[in-house]
Amino acid sequence: MTTTESRQAGRKPAQIVDMSWDPITRIIGNLGIYTKIDFANREVVECHSTSSLFRGYSVFMKGKDPRDAGFITSRICGICGDNHTTCSNYAQQMAYGVKPPKLAEHITNLGEAAEYIFDHTIFQDNLVFVDFCEAMVKATNPSVLARAERTDAPRGDVHGYRTIADIMKAFNPFEGEVYKEALKVSRITREMFCLMEGRHVHPSTLYPGGVGTMPQPNTFTDYLSRLMHVIDFIKKAVAMNDDVFDFFYEALPGYEEVGKRRIMLGCWGAFQNPDVVDYRYATMNEWGRAMYVTPGIVVDGKLVTNNLIDINLGLRIMLGSSFYEDWVNEDPFVTHDPLGNPVDMRHPWNQTTVPVPQKRDFEGNYSWVMSPRWYHPETGEHLALDTGGGPLARLWSTALSGLVDTPYVKATGGGIRITLPKGEKLPETTLEWRIPKWSNTLERDRARPYFIAYAAAMALQFLEEAMGMLKSGDTKVYENFEVPDESIGCGFHEAVRGVLSHHLVIRDKKIANYHPYPPTPWNASPRDIYGTPGPYEDAVQGQPIFEENGPDDFKGVDIMRTVRSFDPCLPCGVHMYMGKGKTLTTVHSPTYGANHG
């Protein structure tokens, strides 16, 4: 009997309480999670994900000089702005027909690798792990903490902590050793980023056609010295994560059901291969498959496609329960792609954004987020893909494709093998991420430190190749281009938290239409026109509740773990509403020491 089946047997009369967390504030928008929780049967019976903020970038981009697109779209987000700049440049390079020099690609890859390491570290260790720290577990699951105090950490020889509770204590905000060390790592990795892209988080040296970074020997050696300084922290982080998440499965049987949804993962690929990429649409499948993170759509554990052209043509933007007018009766901007394939009216190239503000109604429209879906040509399904928080989809797609084979990273078909060199204390280490049984909360979180290791390993390769080019005298980092009168382009990349695409239409040398699709619309989308819930909603709805508290002092930690496992930008505060008019407001101080004397 499965865990789900055992939950259905012997059900008690429902005790439903309305609970919501709104806003879970995010840089890219204001996220609210509205639930109905059955406390008698300890499960979430309904969930709606809302966004209360309209941004409108696709509206005011029209008429702009397309060369400014990277600088403008960088401001979409105060966290992953460089991912937007990079993706915008990819789209522009296709539209302009320009290929940057190889060294420029290495510099861009190095900047993005530093961003992945920086952002994943600060999110995992300073935000996600607050939900797994000693203080939180004591407040929500004291019996679990008692067990953690009696449980030896299997990988203590790597990370140095004797028990699982010792690791949890190191996660405590402001005071825990890991929490504080992660802040130091974030400073070092941000310096790595700035060496390549000039400014964090809105790059000053990334342009269509190349980069403005001066390729000098110390540019790369300074980056390398910082990378080697954090390499042991990365090894320890993987070991700590594995110990904690394995423990949760053992201490709370059935915890695999928390945040679990059907495996429907999307990855658009990252780290261009300078020897293959030319940004032409006609060859997009070839250079897409040559990326050092392989694009792909994984459904029910199987790879549906890793062809970027197929991925692009399958994109559908649906309104569903969102606050916009439909555009399907308007004239299309693009009827066919450069290969002659028909382009759907709901493709981002053809989207028109017309906001319609209105009162939130969970029986009708309730969010400013649209509902991106991917049309499966074989089944006719409009799939509500998620990103697995970014790393889970990237690792899963790359593993199944089996194309990445480098000195430091190898896709094995069933997983990813990552080799990190000897650090200041720890020896050379080979890590192996294996495809899990589930797409759930713990596996999304587990994948994150493994992808930090992946990014660090690939950075070593990019450094070696860049320094080799520098020694040979190949220092060109920019290629001139002309903006055409009319053109289209699309860029595919991975923001830290998942799939990112930019879709550009140029007419009369100006932007006629521009639509960026970052991971948040995919993950936070509301129900679509078919009634299909978005990934947040789907993952939370139906999940069991393991928190030991009742309705009066309920903190919702299992729900928050699920939402945060998707990495929905940075949480800086949570307001919790409970039925019958009771409101709890929790304010988190961003400054260390504010509450300490």
What are the binding residues for Ni(2+)?
77, 80, 569
Extract the tokens encoding 203. Answer: 């790059």
DSSP-derived 3-state class of residue 11: coil
Extract the tokens encoding 250. Answer: 């053992």
Task: Pick out the residues of the known binding site.
Answer: 77, 80, 569, 572, 575
Strand partners, 17: 37
DSSP string, 102-170: HHHHHHHHHHHHHHHHHHHHHHHHHTGGGGGSHHHHHHH-HHHHHHHHHSB-TTHHHH--SBHHHHHHH
Task: Pick out the residues of the known binding site for Mg(2+).
Answer: 575
- For 93, 219, 234, 484, 485, the CA distances from 209, given in Å and listed in that order, are 7, 20, 33, 14, 18
Of 486, 502, 528, the residue nearest 349 (C-alpha):
502
Nearest 5°: CA angle at 128, between 118 and 26? Answer: 80
User: CA 374 to CA 266: how far, in whole Å?
Assistant: 9
- For 325, 340, 376, 397, the CA distances from 333, given in Å and listed in that order, are 17, 14, 23, 32
User: CA 275 to CA 287: how far, in whole Å?
Assistant: 9
Extract the tokens encoding 134. Answer: 């000693």
Task: Pick out the residues of the known binding site for Fe cation.
Answer: 80, 572
User: CA 85 to CA 204: how far, in whole Å?
Assistant: 10
User: CA 440 to CA 558: how far, in whole Å?
Assistant: 12
